[in-house]
A and B are shown apart, each in its own frame.
Chain A
Amino acid sequence: MAKLNVNGVVREFEAEDDTPLLWVIREQLGLTGTKYGCGVAQCGACTVHIDGEATRSCVRPVSTVTANQKITTIEGLSKDGSHAIQKAWAALDVPQCGFCQSGMIMAAAALIREKPKATDADIDTAMTNICRCGTYNRVRAAIHVVVKGGDPASAGLAIQRIEGSKA
């Protein structure tokens, strides 16, 4: 049995050495928030953190990751969706279909950790994930919200919320 440290828990699994980390996370470990989009590291839907670094897990053979390395998936980014990036994403209604958004959020979280004052140029360089619904401008706006300290009003988007709503 091989082992991986995912979201702070060491888990055992069985898979061939060349199995991409993505599919071990999704199938053997049952964490489906990380998505398959292309299988060739083009779209970024499979982005997870390995020791804090954004990594496209669809081309990373599982045998090249050790149990000493800390893997974080979207499910482990925060316990309750309270990471600053997640909060900004929710506040600006960034997702449309949402399928690419786990990867987007993981890429953005890694960016903000590395560059808390990320500029537009930093965002352009780091955020190479594909979104077919076209959420890019709200992705950018949400990252700026975090850079500016987390007040969604700074994005000037005017989204109305009703007290108590799950929205």
Chain B
Amino acid sequence: MSAVLSSASRRGFLKSAVAGSLVVAFHIPFEALAEGEAASQIPIAKGASGATPEVNAWVVIKPDDTIVIRIARSEMGQGTLTGLAQLVAEELDADWSKVVTEYPSPGQNLARKRTWGSFSTGGSRGIRESHEYVRKGGAIARTMLVQAAADAWKVPPAECVAAASVITHTPTGRTISYGKVAEAASKLTAPTEITLKDPKDWKLAGKRLARLDTVDKTTGAQIYGMDIKMPGMLNAAIKDCPVFGGTVKSFDASVIEKRPGVKKVLKVGDSAVAVVADTWWRAKSALDALPIEWDKGPNAKLSSKDVAATLKEGLDAAEAVAGNSNGDAKAAIKSAARKIEAVYSFPWLNHATMETMNATVVWTPERCEVWTPTQNGEAALAATAEAAGLPAAKCDVYKMHLGGGFGRRGATHDWVTQAVRIAKEMPGTPIKLIWTREEDMQHGRYHPVTQCKLTAGLDAKGNVTALHMRISGQSILASLGQTLKDGKDPVVFQGLNAPGPEASIGYSFPNLLVDHAMRNPPVPAGFWRGVNLNQNTVYLECFMDELAHATKQDPLAFRRKLMADHPKHLAVLNAVAEKAGWGKPAKKGVFRGLAQTMGFGSYVAACAEVSVDKAGKVKILRIVAATDPGYAVNPQQIEAQVEGSFVYGLSAALYGECTLKDGEMEQHNFDTYQVMKLDEMPKVESIVMPSGGFWGGVGEPTIAVAAPAVLNAIFAATGKRVRDLPLKNHSLKKA
């Protein structure tokens, strides 16, 4: 063991004297972390051996009545830390003012047979897929606390009630706080039968509570992965071959080895070179000065236009996999009185999280530990173990607060693999790897590239008799190397599925075929906030608008005719239409567009208002959005998610595209990958309308309706139909 390890080990996190910084040492004593401020800074759970025994896996209550709620999912801005804590605290009947949160580590989850369930934080599933077991966790803990109080008073627990962390023996009026009975409760056997509260009785869940993690984000005190400091830590910068599939041929380390602070120049895997130095800036500067020769590999000549041609061929290919069908769409189109066809396309997009990829690693032959922002701690642990050459039980990952996730930090942990490989070359030395923005732009896990041909058959009265949507393009699951049953990637069909609880289409067509011709260019695809719902909703909702206009029908009335069997889809659409004043004249020069969809368990719709000046400049003035998430755990955070989703979706619609030239992405930073800024942000009016009976996500669905609502409004304003995103490539100038 190195001096660093032995001197610092088991001393825990030391909050340094420097404001806002944190020095991290190894083998965190978890009980220390649960103390006061430290718990809010680096929320990692204490183990079962800690000073305060847990009531159960989800709840630790300290003698001073502080309630520590364990959260398995990752906080990346979406508010899940607060939302999940509200659900636990609700069933616990906790005093919300005493609630703090912490993360259990993936290693602890592994050691405890996944007692916290999945750590995966994507697909807007933080709340919708864990609400039941986290609420049970709270309810079980409350039952045990009440039992412990009843035992102490030698009364039946049925005579006791709990509220705001205080148990009252109703007949005598005696009271005791949770903190006083928590230790006794922790020794009791957990009840197996628990009744959860009816949501109509909620006191904390469903309320517009302030977030638990705001204040530190206003003072610089919030520590992100990029901010970690450890005794003896070195910093690494990395450059992966910019051409996808390329490798390192050679590099001349002697050119930079003598630069100040440089400690090591090394190849990482087959395709990357890293420089390790005392400071990151010195590592990065040295790497910039390093001559590297690449073997550009098989994709050295590949460009976006080649990929577009491949996808175009797929639009008419004989072979395709059906995702949703009823009737015989092809035959019905053939015999239709009228046929309308359009082809749309959607580009690659980079997640561009504000915090670039980073990880801090200490590797020794006995153990490997990683501190990193991740949307899936368990997947990060698996990547760590593999790269470390150690069993997972000898590794752990400490989840850092994410400076944005959006899907980039969940399915793959390529940066963790790199950081572990570097650290493995310097045993015992903490290594912090930070990607430059340029590295981040060129080595994304891009929103998949697809095209779609939509063909509708109509009768003489303008009713749609058949719809065929042929999607051609990239499969995320295939790109991730997952085995696909019957060659089908079901995620491709998001928002177009048959009626059911997930991502179902909101229309009934007499004949329908949605099929996919998979074409996988050698660019890594990933889950990008909203995933395939984004482009599928553009395709369908813009085409629906086209059909309405082609048959001289009102776009709302036209949709409604096909939505009779989809009352939840229809309800959100009606809500936005009403609030936006659809059917009533807009102000002069203002035009409206509609869109609706269903995905990630929720029903959403939007009505956008835009103006387009003579020069073709678009101003998005207002978006009315409606969300039916079944249950709304924190409406003010749902509103924040809806607004945020519009920025993400509209950044893509207005500007977003990553283009391939000679095998590498042409966009390197925010100067070439433009995103929406404050001055372009429309007024957002959010309608949160939970109808109950199901649990939907809120982080993603509304992204999908932003772009089509705006594009349809632009058509209303200009008569120009934009079918290939982004908008910046099209002139809307009046002819």
Interfacial residues, chain A to chain B (CB-CB below 8 A): 7, 15-16, 19-20, 23, 26-40, 42-43, 45, 73-75, 77-78, 80-81, 86, 89-90, 93-102, 105, 123-125, 127-140, 157-167
Please tell me if the beta carbons of B354 and A34 are within 8 angstroms of each other in the complex.
no
Residues of chain B with a CB closer than 8 A to A128's CB: 677-679
Please tell me if the beta carbons of A160 and B20 are within 8 angstroms of each other in the complex.
no
Residues of chain A with a CB closer than 8 A to B282's CB: 16
A33 to chain B, nearest CB (A): 2
* The 8 nearest A-B residue pairs measured at CB: A33-B220, A134-B647, A97-B77, A99-B403, A134-B644, A96-B77, A98-B217, A164-B97
Chain B minimum-CB-distance residue to A86? B218
Interchain CA distance A32-B355 in the complex, whole Å: 13
Chain B minimum-CB-distance residue to A127? B678
12 A-B residue contacts at CB 8 Å?
A31-B20, A35-B403, A40-B669, A40-B671, A74-B20, A75-B221, A97-B405, A124-B678, A128-B677, A132-B353, A134-B648, A162-B209
Known: A132-B404, A134-B643, A167-B82. 13 other contacts (CB 8 A): A28-B279, A33-B219, A35-B354, A75-B219, A78-B219, A93-B637, A99-B403, A102-B220, A123-B678, A127-B679, A132-B675, A138-B640, A159-B636
Interchain CA distance A123-B679 in the complex, whole Å: 8
Is chain A's interface secondary structure helix, strand, loop, or mixed overall?
A: loop
Interchain CA distance A14-B675 in the complex, whole Å: 36
Interchain CA distance A33-B211 in the complex, whole Å: 20
B134 to chain A, nearest CB (A): 19
Interfacial residues, chain B to chain A (CB-CB below 8 A): 16, 18-21, 40, 76-79, 82, 96-100, 207-224, 226-227, 229, 235, 260, 279-282, 285, 352-356, 401-406, 434, 436-438, 636-637, 640, 643-648, 651, 669-671, 675-679, 681, 683-684
Please tell me if the beta carbons of A99 and B354 are within 8 angstroms of each other in the complex.
yes
Interface centre among B78, B100, B210, B217 (most CB of A within 10 A): B217
Interchain CA distance A162-B165 in the complex, whole Å: 14
Given contact pairs A45-B354, A167-B211, A32 touches B100 in the complex (Cβ within 8 A): no
Chain A minimum-CB-distance residue to B220? A33
Interface centre among A132, A158, A163, A167 (most CB of B within 10 A): A132
Instruction: Choose one: A19, A36, A37, A167; the contact of B210 (CB below 8 Å).
Output: A167
Residues of chain A with a CB closer than 8 A to B356's CB: 36-37
Please tell me if the beta carbons of A159 and B210 are within 8 angstroms of each other in the complex.
yes
Residues of chain A with a CB closer than 8 A to B401's CB: 97-98
Given contact pairs A132-B354, A136-B647, A140-B678, A81 touches B403 in the complex (Cβ within 8 A): no
Please tell me if the beta carbons of B19 and A99 are within 8 angstroms of each other in the complex.
no
Interface centre among A37, A81, A125 (most CB of B within 10 A): A37
Interface centre among A26, A89, A96, A167 (most CB of B within 10 A): A96
Chain A minimum-CB-distance residue to B97? A164
Residues of chain B with a CB closer than 8 A to A29's CB: 18
Interchain CA distance A90-B210 in the complex, whole Å: 9
Please tell me if the beta carbons of A33 and B20 are within 8 angstroms of each other in the complex.
yes
Residues of chain B with a CB closer than 8 A to A129's CB: 677-678
B415 to chain A, nearest CB (A): 15
Residues of chain B with a CB closer than 8 A to A158's CB: 208, 636
B685 to chain A, nearest CB (A): 11
Given contact pairs A30-B229, A43-B354, A127-B678, A133 touches B220 in the complex (Cβ within 8 A): no
Given contact pairs A20-B281, A27-B281, A102-B220, A133 touches B77 in the complex (Cβ within 8 A): yes
Please tell me if the beta carbons of B21 and A32 are within 8 angstroms of each other in the complex.
yes
Given contact pairs A42-B670, A160-B208, A137 touches B97 in the complex (Cβ within 8 A): no
